[in-house]
Amino acid sequence: MTILIVDDEPGIRRSLGESLAEEGYAVLKAERGEQALELLENPDSDGIDLVLLDVWLPGIDGLETLQRAKQMRPDLPVVMISGHGNIDTALNATKLGAFDFLEKPVDLDRLLLVAANAIKQRQLVKDNQRLLEEVEQDRFFMAESPAMKRLLSDVKLVAPTEGRVLLVGENGSGKEEVARLLHAQSARKGSPFVEVNCAAIPEELIESELFGHVKGAFTGAIRDQKGKFREAHGGTLFLDEVGDMSLKTQAKVLRALQEGRIEPVGGGGAVSVDVRVISATNKDLPEEIKAGRFREDLYFRLAVVPLRVPPLRERPEELIQLAEAFVKRLARNYGRIPKRLAPDARDTLLRHDWPGNVRELKNLMERALILGRGSEITTRDLGPLATRLINEPDPFSFPEFPSLREGRDWFEGEYIKREMKLQNGNMTRVAERLGLDRSNLYKRLKSLGIEVRES
């Protein structure tokens, strides 16, 4: 935890800094309000957890500094300190958002108690905000398909353990959502869930991002940074797209997992960390190992429990439910009346193979809701899906038949095969859609010479 001390008296900065450092806090110092605001404007300022701010400062005073700081960082707790405290000053500071007010000379025990409470409250606020965001975001776990039922059953078994999990699945299939579900159902659920997208961070920065760095370790390192491993201490670290890490970074991650310790870039000594690692990839890691692009020993460390997240095309039972849920949620977000999915739109959605998976479906529903002009979403509102289907050959163009009976059998067979495709081979659903008993459906298929391969 990092505390910024803002005071124009060198002796106060030194004494408070030494006392806080002895308690394990990292300390930053500024002698003027302007300097403090410059530190808070820096993109790395989120690492500052608390500000101790003197009321009487040269230049802009403490109350104005407080007001500007709260505008920049509303969540940042600020404790005011003054050697000439009075009720009016304390009230003004409280109105401006100060967490507490201490008088000089500062009682160390009281300072430590106030600092701990302020940081704890900030963490609670952040956790509550994170939970609210997760509720508001599009996180849907349908369990209608056999594939998802198996996955969620495995999640229920694995989540309470400390076993490392490797999630394998296509882009957009929901690997991050499953990782968050594993965290939410674990004993670590009250601690941080920290995500790192290994594919989005440049190679020269990923070690600093994971393990932190000390001030001056490289150009631009103007202060210490603790890194994602330390941010996730006590909780879960989610390494997304882990297959994109370089071999050099893989070696350091392996060492961290083996020893439970990390060393920031630039030195500073090894630090113990307690994290549960969940990783995810859309790559075939065994093939990456054969190609020399991924370490086999790291793979076995990460894949204690490998779980496959099925693509959306293997979950047709959930597709319409997901689409309707997205429309309902998006309509509420945009302040619009939810639209119903027309039958032709449902068939179009079921015929698509969904290379972008759930993410593609969500984006498509958002576009249809925004651009659609009617009271329901039809095929013409589905953009590229509608265009693709229009350009496809008509599956029901009729060839020549010598008799009505043969033409009827051909049409019936094509119609049933189309429904089997739409229902992904689920014969119970096919029978329901056709209005037939399951046994009669099988008899008719046999008479038409249609082979059945149930999924």
Q: What is the 3-state secondary structure (H, E, C) of 192-247?
A: CEEEEECCCCCHHHHHHHHHCECCCCCCCCCCCECHHHHHCCCCEEEEECHHHCCH
The letter for the amino acid at 91 is L
CA angle (420 as vertex; 415, 424 as ends), nearest 5: 150
Rounded Cα–Cα distance for residues 210 and 229 (Å): 6
pLDDT class for 390, splitting at 50, 70, 90?
very low
Sort strands 261-262 and 271-272 into parallel, antiparallel or unpaired.
antiparallel
Between 41-50, 68-77, 178-187, 227-236, the lowest mean confidence (pLDDT) is in 41-50
Rounded Cα–Cα distance for residues 223 and 416 (Å): 67
Q: With 60 as the cut, is the pLDDT of residue 134 above it?
A: no
pLDDT class for 399, splitting at 50, 70, 90?
low
Closest listed residue to residue 159, CA positions, set 253, 236, 243: 236
Predicted confidence (pLDDT) per residue in 418-436, tens digit: 888 777 778 888 888 888 8
Closest listed residue to residue 3, CA positions, set 267, 212, 11, 21: 21
Cα–chain center distance at 23: 33
Rounded Cα–Cα distance for residues 160 and 328 (Å): 32
In the chain, % of residues over pLDDT 90: 39
The structure tokens listed for 209 are 């991002």
Predicted confidence (pLDDT) per residue in 68-123, tens digit: 998 888 888 999 998 776 777 878 888 888 888 888 888 888 999 999 998 888 88
Q: With 80 as the cut, is the pLDDT of residue 128 above it?
A: no
pLDDT greater at residue 368 or residue 402 = 368
Rounded Cα–Cα distance for residues 85 and 83 (Å): 6
Contact 382, 345 (CB under 8 A): yes
pLDDT of residue 391: 47
pTM (global) more than 0.75: no
DSSP letter, residue 276 = E
Q: With 90 as the cut, is the pLDDT of residue 5 above it?
A: yes
Task: Tell me what the mean pLDDT of segment 297-318 comes to.
Answer: 93
Helices (H), 337-403: 343-351, 357-371, 384-391
Instruction: Indicate the SS3 state at residue 308.
Output: strand
Task: Tell me what the mean pLDDT of segment 208-223 comes to.
Answer: 79
pLDDT of residue 182: 95
pLDDT class for 446, splitting at 50, 70, 90?
confident
Task: Tell me what the mean pLDDT of segment 15-22 comes to.
Answer: 90
Residue keyed to tokens 């100060």: 98
Rounded Cα–Cα distance for residues 339 and 365 (Å): 10
- The alpha carbon dihedral of 115, 1, 301, 289 has a sign of positive
Residue keyed to tokens 């529903």: 365
Sort strands 236-240 and 276-281 into parallel, antiparallel or unpaired.
parallel
Q: With 60 as the cut, is the pLDDT of residue 137 above it?
A: no
Give me the torsion for CA of 152, 154, 159, 164, rounded to 10°. -130
Contact 46, 37 (CB under 8 A): no
Contact 255, 296 (CB under 8 A): no
Predicted confidence (pLDDT) per residue in 325-361, tens digit: 899 888 988 888 889 999 989 988 988 889 899 989 9
The structure tokens listed for 206 are 């990923």
Q: Read out DSSP for 250-267? A: HHHHHHHHHHSEE--BT-
Q: With 50 as the cut, is the pLDDT of residue 124 above it?
A: yes
Contact 261, 270 (CB under 8 A): yes
Contact 350, 384 (CB under 8 A): no
Rounded Cα–Cα distance for residues 437 and 67 (Å): 72
pLDDT of residue 396: 47
pLDDT greater at residue 415 or residue 259 = 259
Q: What is the mean pLDDT of the chain?
A: 85
Task: Tell me what the mean pLDDT of segment 237-259 comes to.
Answer: 94
pLDDT class for 190, splitting at 50, 70, 90?
confident
The structure tokens listed for 100 are 């507490």
Close Cβ partners of 387 (under 8 Å, ≥ 6 residues apart): none
Predicted confidence (pLDDT) per residue in 355-366, tens digit: 899 989 999 999
Predicted confidence (pLDDT) per residue in 139-176, tens digit: 556 667 888 889 999 999 999 999 999 999 999 999 99
pLDDT class for 136, splitting at 50, 70, 90?
very low
